[in-house]
Structure 1
Amino acid sequence: MSQDPPQYPDDDATRRVNPADIPQFPQQYGQPSGPQQPSGPQYGQPSGPQQQYGYGQPPSMPQGYQQPHYGYPAPQQRGPHVPGMYGPRPGTDDTTMAMLAHLLGLLVSWIGPLIIYLIKREESPYVRDQAAEALNFQITLFIGYIVSFVLIFFVVGIILLPIIWIVSLIFHIQAAIAANRGEKYRYPIAIRMIS
């Protein structure tokens, strides 16, 4: 009878491994050995010839194509003030007086814009233009109110009076905001008698 060597269960915990049986790799994982040349563009590296730009200099666009300007107007575009229309941009005193000419119409009808027109017409072309516009609108409203009072007897005037007042309130506020910005405002419904 021959004697067999003892049999051990075949599992990983009890298996003995001969160190000579472990394959040896020439390098560690992730570490290149020797000089290596990249075969193609690497992550984060531009491919092909690239031109370097500074922070403030974007690449030039082909001729005839303009890059859109977001947030700010392009250098050749103008803002709301058009030079030469009234001379230099209106100062704060001019914009305040023009805004006052538009808002006084709500309180004292055509008298407020008339006073500002008579006082400031020689000093500032901008104030003169805006006060004349406010005065023309007030005269137009005055005519509308007279027609509404006459039509009260036919019930149409009762409906027309609040409509005229609400429309005038909206236009006065729009005109005052535009005058405060230094913009030229034209009332959509005004008979232009004074310029």
Structure 2
Amino acid sequence: MAEYPQDRRDGESEYHGAPARAMPLTAAEDRQWATLAHFGGILGCLPSLLIYLVFRDRGPFTAQESKEALNFTLPPTAAAVVCNILALIPVVGNVFAVLATLVWIALTVFSVIAGIQVNRGQPYRYRYNLRLIS
């Protein structure tokens, strides 16, 4: 069996490289990911969280807008999850199902408004936002 340089017996590799660094986003990519962070609010807080964690160091506009979207979508997503769980209660479940639907509709409307604004290259601040993540 051939021995490759990286397969040394002492467990150390001969190759020592620099850690991989992601390239900064271009202005168009920065705006695109910031827009997707807001539009992702339709699905809850997970898309904006993922965009924030992956792209916050690569584009300043994406970092700012994904954090804004995450702060806005986190409480309504939690409320919708709780309402959906409570919707399983036999007698009052329908009330919680309607509440969960209303939360989702409001989240969708505000996320689309913000996404359109950010797609134009303008930052967006939600009027009612807790800003839990600073």
TM-score (norm 1): 0.48
What secondary structure, in the 3-state scheme, does the structure 2 residue paired with 1:190 have?
coil
**Rounded Cα–Cα distance in structure 1 between residues aligned with 2:69 and 2:77:** 12
Higher helix share: 2
Change (3 A) 1:111 1:143: closer
TM-score (norm 2): 0.67
Look up the match of 1:98. Answer: 34
Number of equivalent positions: 105
Look up the match of 1:174. Answer: 113
Instruction: Say which of 55, 60, 71 aligns to 1:125.
Output: 60
Matches within 5 A, 1:5-44: none
Larger Rg: 1
- Structure 1 unaligned residues grouped into runs of 5+: 1-89
Alpha-carbon shift at residue 97 of structure 1 (Å): 0.9
**Rounded Cα–Cα distance in structure 2 between residues aligned with 1:101 and 1:111:** 9
Give me the CA root mean square deviation: 2.1
If asked which structure has higher relative contact order (CA below 8 Å, sep 6+), I would say 2
What secondary structure, in the 3-state scheme, does the structure 1 residue paired with 2:36 have?
helix
Instruction: Say which of 109, 112, 116 aligns to 2:47.
Output: 112
Conserved 8 A contact 1:103-1:176: yes
Which amino acid in the other structure matches residue 68 of structure 2? E
Look up the match of 2:6. Answer: none
Q: Among the aligned pairs, what percent are the same residue?
A: 34
Conserved 8 A contact 1:140-1:190: no
